[in-house]
Amino acid sequence: SPRFIALCPTTLSSSSSGRADEEEQRLRSDLRERFLRTLLSMTDKQVEFNMHEKVRVRARFGASDIDVLNFQVSDLETPLGVQREALLRSQDVISCSFEL
């Protein structure tokens, strides 16, 4: 998607050798696989989201889009009540934590 390309500026330049490209691609895929597995293990868990202005909310994690712009969550516990289904913009989130 265009958003994905915008968020993933390639550091591969045409002048670098093919070997270096391959090495960089391998590193990228290894780091990315680990991240995707983290998201997988987060699925269906109670996650605490630490947002701006020291706002903390809890919710059950569902999924993230590929470019990590939104998180889909269920039973979001907000100061105004529980929201059954919600999307959190990742730009509003500083960190999130859960237990394995």
Partner 1 sequence: MLQWSDRSPQQWREFVNQEVCVTARDQQRFEGRVFTVDPVSASVVLVSFLEHECPSVKVILGHAVTDVQILASGTEETERRMKSLFLPDRTQVLSK
CB of 22 to partner 1, least distance (A): 12
Residue number, 2 or 81, with CB nearest to partner 1: 2
Which CB sits closer to partner 1, 40 or 81?
Answer: 40
Torsion sign, CA atoms 49, 64, 89, 83? negative
Cβ 63 to partner 1 shortest distance, Å: 14
Looking at the Cβ atoms of 81 and 91, the one nearer to partner 1 is 91
Half-sphere exposure of residue 92: CA atoms within 13 angstroms, side-chain side: 9
Residues near partner 1 (CB under 8 A) are 4, 7-9, 11, 24, 27-28, 30-32, 34-35, 37-38, 40-42, 50, 52, 54, 66-68, 90-91, 93-100
CB 39 → partner 1: shortest distance, Å?
9
Instruction: Give dist(CA 66, CA 58) in Å, integer.
Output: 22
- The DSSP secondary-structure symbol of 80 reads T
CB of 81 to partner 1, least distance (A): 25
The span from the CA of 72 to the CA of 88, in Å, is: 6
Closest CA relative to residue 60, chosen from 42, 78, 39: 42
